[in-house]
Amino acid sequence: MPIATVNPANGETLKTYEAMGEEEIERRLQLAEATFRTYRTTSFEERARLLNRAAEVLDEAQQDIARVMTTEMGKPVKQARAEAAKCAKAMRWYAGHAEALLADEEPSQADVEDSGGARARVLYRPLGPVLAVMPWNFPLWQVIRFAAPALMAGNVGLLKHASNVPQTALFLEDLFHQAGYTQGCFQTLLVGSGAIDDILRDERVKAATLTGSEPAGRAVASTAGDMVKKTVLELGGSDPYVVMPSADIDRAAEVAVTARVQNNGQSCIAAKRFIVHTDVYHRFAERFVAGMKALKVGDPLEEDTEVGPLSSEQGRNDLEELVDDAKRSGASVLCGGERPDGPGWYYPPTVVADVTREMRIHREETFGPVATLYRAADLDEAVLIANDSPFGLSSNVWTRDEAEIDRFVRDLEAGGVFVNGMTASHPAFPFGGVKRSGYGRELSGHGIREFCNITTVWHGA
């Protein structure tokens, strides 16, 4: 895949870049290793000063980088601005909380004495250069949610971004440099996916984090396992959105539209499978379909656009194949489902009902504005349908019944359960999944400790 900015709204190639050669990659690896030796000794106060300054730089550049993101991958520009603002918020959160999250821990004196020692403590020390392999769908946020905690922990970052967002990738490197970070603290590697294996095998790279497809995660995990290196993987998701009779159905249907089409439907944590109790199925479906039909699809640079194009022609083809397979197998298309005429990689907001387990759309992730609608006879069936997926990233539950909430929290196979609201990520809460959605956690204290050497220090009596 070429490293290029191709506008998904019209298919026009705007900029192309040459991949870095072996000499440049080597130079940057040397720089990362040398920088880490010094940066790891900086104080939390200094790290926080730099990260807060980076947040200020991002705020100042918000309008410009939002347009770049929209031009590179197609998200509505107002959502791109919101993404930039969220990144600045996460930077400030980690700048303000990292020292406490990584504070030395003191075991109880009784345990210390039982070990035969006089005193002991547990330290969180940085690992070194961390390779981040990042996707195009949230081209700022995915990177910042790795970079902010990694830098505050004393690590340095190497970014291999998706090849269709090179301008965003270069902006990120420049962002940290403008904020005053030493050049080797955060570097963008403009390389293709074929270069990842060699970079990850390099002894100077101590760990890796990847957000992306399941095949990409398998490849990185395999190499890292061979080299015995720590990884965090956040892969696909096919999140269930369960609606029970006691819910506020109008509100659930309204939020369901946003939950499905946020980021043009290209979000791992977007709700994708809508599982509705039979008693309220028709009422919910009517409102949900009406909401999907009412969305404005168009130029993502226009302020009132709600759904823009998919990021690539291949992405649209993949989505279209899932819908067409479902139609051939007997599914009902309640709205959308047909590729529009004209330029750009657009696909309409679509609702597919009467889905069966044999259909590809039941098992595979729909990465675009396509929802599948299921009917559940009771809570037990709702849980069965929700868990009948290879993925387990997050989930949404709409009910006012506390016993039902307890049951869903206990039994849903997911890294998150959001009750009467839409799944969202926040720096204070851990984020990640189970099953084929990956392993490890990002954000919160759990995320910042993923790339730390947890060190026991023990003193004899």
Known catalytic residues? 234, 268
Element (H, E) at 333: strand 332-335
| 273, 240 contact by CB (below 8 A) | yes
The contacts of residue 10 (CB under 8 Å, 6+ apart) are 343, 344
Residue 267, number of CB atoms within 10 A of its CB: 21
- Burial annotation 113-137 (CB, 10 A radius, 16+ → b, else e): eeeeeeebeeebebbbbbbbbbbbb
Residue 280, number of CB atoms within 10 A of its CB: 18
Give CA 350 to chain center in angstroms.
23
Q: What is the dihedral of CA 40, 42, 45, 48, to 10 degrees?
A: -50
Looking at residue 82, its amino acid is: A
Tell me which residue of 337, 335, 333, 334 sits closest to 320, measured CA to CA. Answer: 337
Count of all residues that appear for the chain in the document: 461
Strands, E assignment, 254-297: 271-277
CA distance 16 to 4: 4
| 133, 220 contact by CB (below 8 A) | yes
- Burial annotation 299-329 (CB, 10 A radius, 16+ → b, else e): bbbeeebbbbbbbbeebbebbbebbbebeee
Tell me which residue of 319, 243, 248, 311 sits closest to 277, measured CA to CA. Answer: 243
Largest CA distance in the chain: 79
| 156, 186 contact by CB (below 8 A) | yes
Determine phi and psi for 218, rounding to 5 degrees.
Answer: -60, -40
Element (H, E) at 232: strand 230-234
93 is written with which tokens?
Answer: 């959160």
Tell me which residue of 343, 342, 347, 323 sits closest to 333, measured CA to CA. Answer: 323
Would you call 64 exposed, middle or buried from its count of C-beta atoms within 10 A (0-12, 13-18, 19+)?
exposed
Residue 111, number of CB atoms within 10 A of its CB: 10
Would residue 342 be called left, alpha or beta, if left means φ above 0 and alpha means ψ between -120 and 50 degrees?
left
